[in-house]
Amino acid sequence: MKKVLVLEDEANIRSFVVINLKRAGYEAIEAETGMQALEQLRRNPDIRVALLDIMLPDIDGFEVCRRIRAGNPKIGIIMLTARTQEMDKVTGLMTGADDYVTKPFSPAELTARIDALYRRIGGGDEVESGELRQDPFLLNTRKRTLEKDGKRIKLTQVEYALMKMFMDNPGKALSREEILDMVWGRDYFGELKIVDVNIRRLRIKIEDDPTSPVYITTVWGYGYKWGF
Ligand code: CA
């Protein structure tokens, strides 16, 4: 059974989420506090996706996200953000989340996001093997790892998918809509901004100077291009 961690301190929201996950075929592992969530992840290493509320009684959802990411770059993380807290989305993505869902959300929206994340994590490129080299980068598509000048750069699944997309399309200007389709999937109904935030995060990891990027360059009013 596909396990999803549900971190939410409000019991009624948590049970609403859990019931709908079960209906969609997932096993929900519940946590009420940040520390409980980290403990559940230790006990259930097969959890592939985590839903993290932000306002919690102990450590906040961003800190939980940071701590999960420090040990596990592969798990999918969706932040549950409040409508009024626009900054939450950006902060959440910068701390390593893959996606966010704004409260109040419909069960259909939430499960669509989880399904999409599961598909991305599952890959679909198992048949692929080998290495994609564009100096100074080396992408191993079997191990899903990235090296720059021989040094491993830890990537989340979304960042890996972005790198793969860029390295498959050198020199081509890609619109933000195209990027959203390629990395998040056509059935994703989030905002284009998620592209910018994830690229900002990826730049911090791969560029020598993220403030004047040379690998991922901006195509003004359109999207991005894999440099050179
Ligand atoms: Ca809360």
Q: Do domains 2-120 and 131-226 have the same CATH topology?
A: no
> What would the pLDDT profile of 36-91 be if each residue is shown by its tens digit?
999 999 999 889 999 999 999 999 999 999 999 988 888 999 999 876 666 666 77
Structure tokens at 15: 């049970």
Whole-number Å distance, alpha carbon 46 to ligand 1 midpoint, is 25
Distance in angstroms (rounded) separating the CA atoms of residues 87 and 47: 27
> 131-226 architecture in CATH?
Orthogonal Bundle (1.10)
Domain extents for the chain? 2-120, 131-226
Distance in angstroms (rounded) separating the CA atoms of residues 132 and 113: 29
> What would the pLDDT profile of 110-141 be if each residue is shown by its tens digit?
998 998 888 777 644 444 457 888 889 999 98
Whole-number Å distance, alpha carbon 221 to ligand 1 midpoint, is 37
CATH of span 2-120: 3.40.50.2300
Whole-number Å distance, alpha carbon 206 to ligand 1 midpoint, is 34
Q: What residue type is assigned to position 72 of the chain?
A: N
**Three-state SS for 62?**
helix
Residues near ion ligand 1 (Cβ under 5 Å): 9, 53, 55
Put simply, whether the predicted model's pTM sits higher than 0.85 gets the answer no
